[in-house]
Copies of this chain bind each other. A is one copy, B any other.
Amino acid sequence: MLNYSATAQTETISLELLAERLKALAEPNRLRIFNLLMDGVQCNCELSEALAMPPNLISHHLSKLRSVGLVDVERDEWDSRWIYYSINRAALEELNAAFGSFFDPNRIQPRRLTCGPQHAICRPE
């Protein structure tokens, strides 16, 4: 999964998976939430206070991060009203590796001159 050196078919599938995860992260407030989770902050109330956002909005963004598997949830052992969120390390490792390899600048190939006035192979036929 999330390997970009395979066939075109699996590549397309992986690109959709990558896009799905990136879409969950491509939002300023969710990045701020993610950043606090990385620092060890865990409950909705503290995130809400730190970011000056209403708890229901925090809840909304957390559910997006949770839906792509990047964030885990756990209830307090003694008082189950409290809910603790945390980063899913395995998911983050996989995403970080996938992003790094897909967007590796060394993957950039030199210009392929198959198009243009000399090599017009792009006609719709």
- Within A94-125, the residues touching B (CB, 8 Å) are 95-96, 99-100, 102-105, 107-112, 114-117, 121-122, 124
Instruction: Tell me the complex Cα distance, A46–B39, Å.
Output: 45
Tally of chain A residues near chain B (CB < 8 A) = 58
**A interface residues with partner B (beta carbon < 8 Å):** 4, 11-12, 15-16, 18-19, 22-23, 25-28, 30-32, 35, 38-43, 45-46, 48-49, 76, 78-79, 82, 84, 86-87, 89, 92-93, 95-96, 99-100, 102-105, 107-112, 114-117, 121-122, 124
- Identity of the chain B residue whose Cβ is nearest the Cβ of A70 in the assembled complex: B103
- List 13 extra interface pairs beyond A41-B112, A84-B115, A99-B100, CB under 8 A: A19-B26, A23-B26, A40-B112, A41-B115, A42-B111, A49-B124, A79-B116, A82-B117, A87-B105, A89-B108, A92-B108, A95-B103, A96-B103
